[in-house]
Chain A
């Protein structure tokens, strides 16, 4: 089975712009979670989607949003980018069990 794929792998944006990241889960997995990883804060949970519905949300501002499509692929969007949004954004998928499998991440740099 192919693993979790994330696109793009690298992205450079400037402050004030918006960005959309994409995640394709492992085939058959219906849950997709997003995390932000920074050197200072570590890995932090953003949100989880299951069957196109957001089930849980972490403590991030409303500039961070996401959605999931009927094929379980997910996107996350960050609007009005700030320097502090520079991070590795990780997507994880899971099936019926709660075991999460992570993708390689998208490294976002905000200038």
Chain B
């Protein structure tokens, strides 16, 4: 079993919908949690960075971390066709914070 599990989708939603993306993990040592967006043929782009548990909001994006359930989420409000991409969750431990363990990615399509 992988350390980080992520539903690969594909996920297709109409423009304006609220999108919910999720990851579960098994390593309780993970303390740093990130969401990346990757467009086709491009490198991942950092969207959200969260330390430990809690919520973080940035514009249309909200990241939630529930360490007790080993579950993280990314919500996208008012989704746009330009949000169509693969979304990757990533996490790391203290002491090796730059050694990221990634989920497999969820492919999202927002239909106009």
Contacts and interface: CB of A to CB of B under 8 A. Distances in A.
Interface of A: 4, 31, 33, 35, 42-45, 48, 55-56, 58, 90, 92, 94, 98-105
Given A90-B44, A102-B43, A43 B97 contact: no
Interface residues of B, number: 22
Contacts of B102: 35, 42-44
Q: SS class of chain B's interface: helix, strand, loop or mixed?
A: strand
Contact of A56 (B32, B42, B49, B99): B99
Q: SS class of chain A's interface: helix, strand, loop or mixed?
A: strand
Nearest to B42: A104
Contact of B98 (A4, A33, A43, A90): A33
B23 interface: no
Contacts of B36: 102
B104 A48 contact: no
A94 to B, nearest CB: 6
Give the residue among B41, B88, B100, B104 with the most A Cβ atoms within 10 A. Answer: B100
B98 A100 contact: yes
Contact of B46 (A55, A90, A100): A100
B98 A58 contact: no
Q: A-B pairs with the 8 shortest C-beta distances?
A: A102-B43, A98-B97, A43-B102, A42-B104, A56-B99, A102-B44, A104-B43, A45-B99
Contacts of B43: 4, 90, 92, 102-105
Contacts of B98: 31, 33, 48, 55-56, 92, 94, 98, 100
B45 A102 contact: yes
30 contacts: A33-B98, A33-B99, A33-B100, A42-B88, A42-B105, A43-B44, A43-B90, A43-B105, A44-B102, A45-B99, A45-B101, A55-B96, A56-B96, A56-B98, A90-B43, A90-B44, A92-B43, A92-B98, A94-B98, A98-B32, A98-B92, A100-B46, A100-B98, A102-B36, A102-B44, A102-B45, A103-B43, A104-B41, A104-B42, A105-B42
